[in-house]
Amino acid sequence: MSEINQSDKELVSGKKGIFSLPGFPLVIGCIGKNLITVAAISMVSFDNPPLIMMGIVPKRYSFELIKKIKDYSINIPTTDLLEAVQYCGKVSGRDVKDKFEIAGLTPVKASKISSYLIKECPVNLECKVVHTLDLGGSHTWFVGEVVAAHITKDYSRSKAIMFWPGEYRYVGDVIEK
Ligand SMILES: Cc1cc2nc3c(=O)[nH]c(=O)nc-3n(C[C@H](O)[C@H](O)[C@H](O)COP(=O)(O)O)c2cc1C
């Protein structure tokens, strides 16, 4: 047992601890034709198969949809789409018929799933739900196999958006290559 004291640190809640993580990648999920801004997104497996997971709060309209549709697209917005990101992060599909139209985004048919892709986002991942993880707590996790991906030739990750609770940010500087 270490005798080293940590009096320079404050004892805080688990939630505050999690919010100290240096940012979450911010994406727009599309389930069917309903758009939802999502920061709870994580890589599960790079390959064999490539898996990603998206956390959805059960009270969301998107939650009802994903249970039925069983697929979703992940669309990576660039900083110029911030207004659309904020819109899709506050308006529910229960209250508006077509978030695409109001957000000024264009739906594109996917190649392998029934959910739509967002044309204006430089990266679209087509995901089929292969596991649903209800581990308690705030989010249910939908693990998706990435069955197809579309990336514009000039895509740069530095134009993607990071969400730090309370702040939207650019991805940081390269510190070593
Ligand atoms: C920056 C940001 C990040 C968000 N991340 C998530 C998330 O990871 N999971 C989630 O369920 N809701 C998240 N939300 C909230 C939903 O995007 C929002 O409630 C949306 O209106 C739900 O739409 P729906 O009711 O049509 O599903 C986030 C909102 C913002 C602004």
Question: Going by C-beta distance under 8 Å and a sequence separation of 6 or more, which residues neighbour residue 44?
Answer: 51, 52, 53, 143
- Distance (angstroms) between ligand 1 centre and the Cα of 3 equals 44
Closest ligand 1 atom to residue 34 Cα is 26
Give the whole-angstrom CA distance, residue 165 versus residue 169: 10
Three-class SS of residue 139?
Answer: coil
* Peptide bond just before 49 cis, omega within 30 deg: yes
Question: How do the pLDDT tens digits run along the chain, 177 residues long?
Answer: 668 888 999 999 999 999 999 889 999 999 999 999 999 999 999 999 999 999 999 999 999 999 999 999 999 999 999 999 999 999 999 999 999 999 999 999 999 999 999 999 999 999 999 999 999 999 999 999 999 999 999 999 988 999 988 899 988 888 999
Tell me the whole-structure pTM to 2 decimals: 0.96
Pocket test for ligand 1, best of 18, 37, 91, 132 (most atoms within 8 A of CB): 37
- Domains in the chain, please, with CATH? 24-158 (2.30.110.10)
